[in-house]
Amino acid sequence: MLTFADTKMTMPGLTPMVYVGKNLFDKPTDEEVYCFQDAVSVVRFGILGESEDVYIQPFKKNDLGSSIITLERAVIIMQETNERYIKEGKPKLTKAKGKWKTIHTS
């Protein structure tokens, strides 16, 4: 899973995730929901393991490819991010003060 800590997208966060199934939650929906589990808890507890440390993240189809990316795409994005980081003068992270905004990449 890819996130950024800043609006200029120079400080990425990657969380390795494992696909564990579709529509795993009891909520009825017309749209398919793809579920991913963090890779660390897969190794520690197994797929859909019973622990409060298991993190399952649902994504709609249109989120696949922006928030959920392949390793190959992650390498490309990290290269692009490094170029932005250098271009922006290697910025430091500052407190957001409640100004959160979701940014999707393609």
Indicate the number of domains in the chain.
Answer: 1
DSSP state of 10: -
Residues in the chain predicted with pLDDT less than 50, given as ranges, are 106
Domain assignment present for residue 35? The answer is: yes
pTM of the model: 0.70
Which residue, among 101, 72, 76, has the nearest Cα to 8 in the 3D structure? Answer: 101
The pLDDT value recorded for residue 20 is 95
The pLDDT value recorded for residue 100 is 63
Domain assignment present for residue 104? The answer is: no
Domain assignment present for residue 73? The answer is: yes
Domain assignment present for residue 8? The answer is: yes
The pLDDT value recorded for residue 75 is 94
CA 79, distance to chain mean position in Å, is: 17
Domain assignment present for residue 49? The answer is: yes
The pLDDT value recorded for residue 64 is 84
Domain assignment present for residue 29? The answer is: yes
Task: With beta carbons less than 8 A apart as the criterion, state whether 85 and 91 touch.
Answer: yes
The pLDDT value recorded for residue 103 is 63
Range of the domain at 31: 2-87
> What percent of the chain is modeled with pLDDT above 70?
90
- Using CA atoms, how far residue 92 sits from 9, 61, 88, in Å, is 12, 33, 10
The pLDDT value recorded for residue 62 is 83
